[in-house]
Structure 1
């Protein structure tokens, strides 16, 4: 079932700017507080774990004629990027019977459970609302806002369409198969199941008042929107800083179903293959597909055939795959040529002209002995090797018969790759680095194959409804000594900009992204350290940190960054005015003792014990008065085997 809604910079620095910066810093240091109204500090967390505290301390002018952070040695541990928690969530259902995969999401206090289709082609997460008069009968009861003590309607504002009667923001989505959903927007606590190490978070979602088409008749309750957009559950969690800008899906195989999902980053397997994904190419997740090989032979097609309209799109909510006319014809002919020993038969549904073959083994594990391998080759030369279960579905009426699950996309030049293409494949949507990774694996054993612990931390009770993240204090990755190479922990530099604070502030994230591209690093490595402004000029101190998985910057990478800074090979758009980069500095990674690594945890435990002791009686009283608000979260059901139609 398709779920794809179609909807010349002058380099100069002013002596006056440096003077006021020095005078201000000296004044601040004497006061030990940055309270001078002429200098406004901007405290931001760019790519930082929000469980840590970013410390902004006085700057002073040293004998080396450099600006130096007086707290640089003490605060570095707090500024380092740590691994953020992720939400591990099982997937249920299958492609053949249901046409989709679902996950379980809990909304409200106490939590109400919903089975939602995981959909990379949608940007809104929504569930049927208790007020809905045109909603079908689904797997779980409708959401009842009145029963949630933490629910809040999203009030009308200039950024949304408005229901004037309710004074509440509305949403409306229409899909390619002519179904639709509309309703109002609300905000509540959302939690992700017992396997998640991510604590419950507040999020905006849709409360449906009307469904049509397949959305009305489907068994699943609603949609989990994983696409690009302000209302996407991924964007909301990333904007809060609680997960890294990535998520992964792993669909089960032909006879298994189920699978797994991760909201947040994972350490990619060493043999994962990647394709570039350009967010500016289309509103959907796309890859730069260049060739398709069948049995090792390239199809006689121009690479441009896979770049029509929206390009090559991955849509987790679409069941099958759809190729442009010429690509489908070439693919079909190549498959038929390779399976000439099999008999071509009619499909199970007379309404469709399916291309099916009989005479193969009924054991899908042996399909590769009869059907050819298919490779999708990306522009970087890497390729995704597909087994027969990634382009075939089982014939429901003839044992040992299979049909092509790849079809012609009408006259639409878009290449659309649905769930069938990624059966038993871990797909990582690494939005931060603008790439999508593929790793062939058994999705029913994903946690073990990724070497992830199967013993998740305990899930907070529903009384924990504050918008916080859990300080997991994960283990640090090991450091490897490289003889003769100096380890560089942080590279800092200053930027003077002829733009006043109020105009520059809304564009800091955009500026960080440009800097990351110019220095050829990930945007999560670019951190704003200090920001001061006077009149129409601003002075910014930036830092380049190691990637999330490392404790130091690779020597070659560090030298390249320094060369780009020294040679002024950093070019920003004219909208940022006149600017100059200067006074770069390198610092080694900090050496941490055991006590330094665990100090935050030790102090946190002590504080928690004291607070619990002081508040125990009060919490007991509140619990007795409001038992229902402390209901524990229900466990997530185990994945069920794929229930395909039995042959007759």
Structure 2
């Protein structure tokens, strides 16, 4: 009888270990929403010229560092961060959220050059310390998983700790992160009273360079939501714990938050389009752009070619970037449908911003926009998805164009990218199992329904 009880107990344990976990929801925080001059702190007057310049500089650094390297974003130039729990006993860490990269990595003790303070209010930086977790294990460099997990440094061994699987990631701005791959427990809170956990591989970063040394908007690390085997969503899906799906709902910098969920989504009425296959980023095929229901761009601008691999959906960029000549055609249609003439206002850096001095309700007077994607999918956009309210030095305000021209060069052709201004106020679903990307207008202050 005692033997039977032991067998039953063992079966219960095995069944518990093979159960799936609920879709995991994390709160997002916009890194710049707290700053003076942001929409959240402008008293309805619009963003300050300084805040506008900061966001555009953010995008320039991100695009320079990110896309030429095919999937490595600069930690300092993402928009949203969240909190994750790792180790035993559990410790909380603030990490940059990036749909354009793959690896989860943390500043890891000992790291004498990692930042110890940050300009983000309410955050205390913490280095992951393997000696303080009873469940951590360094991945050996001879382990078969090292080639998959090391991300750019397969099979290389570290000196300290000896024989560990090394990783190295370089960014376009010259910043680097390196260290070794470790395995530890990530803990999820399924409800107020229930927790679940899983083992994951991540980077223990012991040497950072460049912008990763700065305290400005610093966090503890980065969590990538890309499609590679090392990404947290892929690891959890490969263990059979959740579906290979994640979704986010961004509130932009007006409120400064949102949610991201790992796992299957149950919300009905989502519109889907196929992902462009074989891409590092989440690319989809845009076919045309409509203004007030009329197609206004040359569809050949968006044809999938060796140099044009579709539209990049990037939650880490602020604005939208449209390839030529589609940009000029789009802007001309908006100008034609606007209730007042446009003005070219100096941006203070030798350029100008296209704006409209208007005090009415833009939702009912400026044109609506339609994005037509492969498979008949349509994304409907309001004026707030292409305009932002700008405070002028005169004390007045104007609505300015939040889409920019992406001209490119012969060696680096232009591309179309939709950032936070387009993706905000929508539930955006990345279904890696079926290789489709979907969206639906959604109240991003509400939880995302998942299973």
Which residue does the alignment assign to 2:201? Answer: 204
**338 and 410 in structure 1: CA distance in 2 versus 1, 3 angstrom threshold:** same
Query: 1:251-290 alignment to 2 at 5 Å?
Result: 251-253=250-252, 255-270=254-269, 272-280=270-278, 282-290=279-287
Matches of 1:358 and 1:325, distance apart in 2:
26
Which residue does the alignment assign to 2:7? Answer: none
**The structure with more radius of gyration:** 1
2:177 paired residue among 154, 169, 181: 181
Q: CA deviation at 1:299?
A: 1.7
Please list the CA deviations of residues 20-62 of structure 1 after superposition, one character each: whole Å capped at 9, or x if unmatched: xxxxxxxxxxxxxxxxxxxxxxxxxxxxxx95899xxxxxxxx
Q: Is the 8 A contact 2:430 2:436 kept in 1?
A: yes
**326 and 343 in structure 1: CA distance in 2 versus 1, 3 angstrom threshold:** closer
**95 and 248 in structure 1: CA distance in 2 versus 1, 3 angstrom threshold:** farther
Q: CA deviation at 1:243?
A: 0.2
Which residue does the alignment assign to 2:436? Answer: 435
Which residue does the alignment assign to 1:383? Answer: 378
Q: CA deviation at 1:288?
A: 1.7
Query: 1:305-384 alignment to 2 at 5 Å?
Result: 305=302, 307=304, 308-339=307-338, 341-346=340-345, 348-350=347-349, 353-361=352-360, 366-384=361-379
Which residue does the alignment assign to 2:298? Answer: 301
SS class of match (2:82): strand
Q: Is the 8 A contact 1:389 1:423 kept in 2?
A: no
Farther-moved stretch of structure 1 (231-240 vs 344-353) = 344-353
Q: 2:132 aligned with 1:153, yes or no?
A: no
Please list the CA deviations of residues 243-282 of structure 1 after superposition, one character each: whole Å capped at 9, or x if unmatched: 0110101001452221111100011322x211111332x1
2:165 paired residue among 164, 169, 182: 169
2:100 paired residue among 121, 125, 140: 121
Matches of 1:338 and 1:135, distance apart in 2:
51
Matches of 2:79 and 2:302, distance apart in 1:
28
Q: Is the 8 A contact 1:254 1:423 kept in 2?
A: no
Matches of 1:152 and 1:297, distance apart in 2:
58
**382 and 359 in structure 1: CA distance in 2 versus 1, 3 angstrom threshold:** same
Please list the CA deviations of residues 294-333 of structure 1 after superposition, one character each: whole Å capped at 9, or x if unmatched: 2222123124525343321112222222121212222222
Please list the CA deviations of residues 151-171 of structure 1 after superposition, one character each: whole Å capped at 9, or x if unmatched: 111111262242431222222
Matches of 1:297 and 1:174, distance apart in 2:
44
Q: Is the 8 A contact 1:289 1:376 kept in 2?
A: yes
Unaligned stretches of 5+ residues in structure 2: 1-13, 36-54, 56-77, 148-153
Which residue does the alignment assign to 1:570? Answer: none
Matches of 1:379 and 1:354, distance apart in 2:
32
SS class of match (2:237): helix
Unaligned stretches of 5+ residues in structure 1: 1-49, 55-81, 453-473, 475-648
Q: Is the 8 A contact 1:227 1:284 kept in 2?
A: yes
Q: Which has the higher strand share?
A: 2
Matches of 1:53 and 1:222, distance apart in 2:
29
Q: 2:112 aligned with 1:133, yes or no?
A: yes
Q: CA deviation at 1:198?
A: 6.7
Q: Is the 8 A contact 2:30 2:252 kept in 1?
A: no
1:107 paired residue among 86, 103, 126: 86
Q: CA deviation at 1:345?
A: 4.2
After superposition, the CA RMSD in angstroms is 2.8
Q: Is the 8 A contact 1:294 1:375 kept in 2?
A: yes
Matches of 1:164 and 1:339, distance apart in 2:
60
SS class of match (1:181): strand
**84 and 107 in structure 1: CA distance in 2 versus 1, 3 angstrom threshold:** closer
TM-score, length of structure 1 as denominator length = 0.53
Which residue does the alignment assign to 1:568? Answer: none
Matches of 1:315 and 1:327, distance apart in 2:
19
Q: Is the 8 A contact 1:95 1:319 kept in 2?
A: no
**386 and 337 in structure 1: CA distance in 2 versus 1, 3 angstrom threshold:** same
Q: Is the 8 A contact 1:94 1:258 kept in 2?
A: no
Which residue does the alignment assign to 2:243? Answer: 244
Matches of 1:342 and 1:193, distance apart in 2:
52
SS class of match (1:395): strand
SS class of match (1:316): coil
Which residue does the alignment assign to 1:503? Answer: none
**211 and 312 in structure 1: CA distance in 2 versus 1, 3 angstrom threshold:** same
TM-score, length of structure 2 as denominator length = 0.74
Which residue does the alignment assign to 1:445? Answer: 446
